[in-house]
Amino acid sequence: GPVSFMRGADASAGTIKSGGKTRRAAKMVILDVDHPDVRDFIWCKATEEKKARALRDSGFDMDLDGRDSYSIQYQNANNSVRVTDEFMQAVLEDRDWKLKAVTTGEILETTRARDL
């Protein structure tokens, strides 16, 4: 799925410096709210940030250019979920939401919209 491809793109963006030495390049990554990997997409960055805090608390150098920070993924992107009016209505009405295959539209999973 897209999250696995984001690892490589994130690593590439991490090697590019922007505006001198203190900022890295960033990119925008957008996934549709009905994509079957939307949950992994939503949580991938937060999970890595939790890992970074644990490593920092254990004494690793997790500063922006710290020698150990390279192991933290998904930090060089602005991740956004593209939501639709239909999805927002499903949230308001506490309805189910269907996650669909990108190429065929086949329904792969049904979940509560509010759970996303």
Residue 109: inside a domain: no
| Number of folded domains that form the chain | 1
Per-residue pLDDT of the chain (116 residues; tens, 9 = 90+): 899 889 888 877 777 765 556 666 768 999 999 999 999 999 999 999 999 999 999 999 888 777 788 788 888 889 999 999 999 999 999 999 999 999 999 999 999 999 99
88, part of any domain: no
Please indicate, yes or no, if residue 53 is contained in any of the structural domains. Answer: yes
14 alpha-carbon distance from chain centroid: 15
Residue 67 forms part of a structural domain: yes
22: in domain: yes
pTM of the model: 0.82
Alpha helices (H) in 1-116, listed in sequence order = 2-14, 38-57, 85-92
Domain enclosing residue 32, as ranges: 2-83
Bridge-based pairing of strands 77-82 and 27-32 is parallel
